A and B are shown apart, each in its own frame.
Chain A
Amino acid sequence: MRHLIDPLDFNMEETGRLLELAAGILQRPGDYAHCCDGKILATLFFEPSTRTRLSFESAMLRLGGQVLGFSSAGSSSASKGESVADTIRMISGYADIAAMRHFKEGAPFVAARYSKIPVVNAGDGGHQHPTQTLTDLFTIRRKRGEIGNLTIGLCGDLKFGRTVHSLIKSLVRYENVRFVLISPEELRTPGYIVKEVLEPSGHSFNEARKIEEVMPELDVLYMTRVQRERFFNEEDYVRLKDSYILTPEKLKSAKKDLVIMHPLPRVNEIDKLVDEDPRAMYFEQARGGVFVRMALILALLGLEPEVLDP
């Protein structure tokens, strides 16, 4: 039985076939409307989340399956002190597949060890969020036809942003990917990502302090939020925050086929005027997440047996 706990749990071929399936579902959703008739997805959300939980639920409902679960730790037996191991053992008898979000890092990993049904990590603290990574890869593939051969600018909080770390780890597996890491000094990419992931990969990467300086080079711009609470003092935050806000003005020098992405929720790091730009893909990216999760559910339940290696 397979689980998805870490973005690298699926090899490149498996990831490619999964994204291919997601693209097929997007083209012909009706063909898949009853694939999960009689199947149940448990959404175990020990931490609140709007988009991720709803997209998992939407995915299962669109496949004809049903959904049960809880949306906060307070409404689960965790509030009575039940362990993750016991919770998943119990849920294994109630559902066919589980999506788990937990505030403790590594909780879905523990769940997978005790589970009798496939477990999907739907986000564990500041650690991993593999379905977001698959969604990001799906968006790049849809818009560019392939995942490799691109220059990607990752902009904003590169220090704490888990989506950025997971995306870098996944993208280094593809050919000819160049990384431009755009962040304030305070929120630079952690040393271990550079030393253990980027440098050994042999891919070229460079750091920049301003989006404008590198905009013309980029094929993909992945925006993240620069959060006030990450700064030691208000002065630095005020000084730096505007440098990491994407505006139509800054996009003037960008390529015509640039793909602008954001894992959402967006606060103010992308000016609302950019939403009208045809290169803005972040809402489309979020929509794509449903098809990726539909493909994932089918693959993990063995209903599309050719996607994952035995």
Chain B
Amino acid sequence: MLNIDSIENGIVIDHITAGRGMRVYELLDLQKLDTCVAIIRNARSSKFGKKDIIKIEGLTDIDLDVLGFIDDHATVCVIRDGELIEKKQPKLPKKLVNIVSCKNPRCITSVEDVDQVFTLCDGERHRYRCQYCEQVLEEAR
């Protein structure tokens, strides 16, 4: 069993679907942090068999919309002085603003400097459409 130190102050994103940890890391822009960040892939999970975990030292808040878009099954645990003080469950966001880009080469966003906006059109199948061209987002979560 790999041992990663527990954190004193920060955030633990637990129960990330195995394989999506790196995507969470990328879209939350965690590479920009200069504090300690640990990504644990394929950790044992009694519920799902395997899961990914991210531990971020020093951070007190993250964009739950981004996390909800990638994995609404994940759990955010806020740690202060070594104690768990809050648990947050991200929801599938109704709108994504400047999180992902439209891949349709015919979309106006490919040439115009505007916000990249997607709206949720089918919550069951996690389908989003570009606000401008209405193309379905094919982005792998």
Contact = CB atoms under 8 A, between A and B. Distances in A.
A196 B112 contact: no
B29 to A, nearest CB: 26
B132 A83 contact: no
Contact of A102 (B108, B110, B122, B134): B108
Interface string B81-117: 0000000000000000000000010111111111000
A105 interface: yes
A105 B103 CA distance: 12
Given A125-B106, A126-B106, A109 B112 contact: no
A127 B133 CA distance: 7
Contacts, number: 50
A103 interface: yes
Interface in A175-195: 192, 195
Main secondary structure of the interface of A (DSSP, over half): mixed
A46 to B, nearest CB: 11
Contact of B112 (A84, A124, A125, A195): A84
B51 to A, nearest CB: 31
B108 A104 contact: yes
A106 interface: yes
Q: Kindly state the interface size class of chain B when it binds its partner.
A: 10 to 19
Interface in A80-121: 83-85, 102-107, 109-110
B75 interface: no
A105 B108 contact: yes
A86 B32 CA distance: 34
Q: Kindly state the interface size class of chain A when it binds its partner.
A: 10 to 19
B106 A84 contact: no
Contacts of B110: 104
Interface in B15-70: none
B64 to A, nearest CB: 27
A105 B107 contact: yes
A124 B104 CA distance: 13
25 contacts: A83-B112, A83-B113, A84-B108, A84-B112, A85-B112, A103-B106, A104-B106, A104-B108, A104-B110, A105-B104, A105-B107, A105-B134, A106-B107, A106-B108, A106-B131, A106-B132, A109-B108, A110-B108, A110-B114, A125-B106, A125-B133, A127-B106, A127-B134, A195-B122, A196-B121
Interface of B: 104, 106-114, 121-122, 130-136
Given A104-B111, A105-B108, A109-B108, 20 more contacts: A83-B113, A84-B112, A85-B114, A103-B106, A104-B107, A104-B112, A105-B104, A105-B135, A106-B109, A106-B131, A106-B132, A107-B112, A109-B131, A109-B132, A110-B108, A110-B112, A110-B114, A125-B106, A126-B106, A127-B106
Q: Which 3 A-B pairs have the closest CB atoms?
A: A106-B132, A105-B133, A106-B108
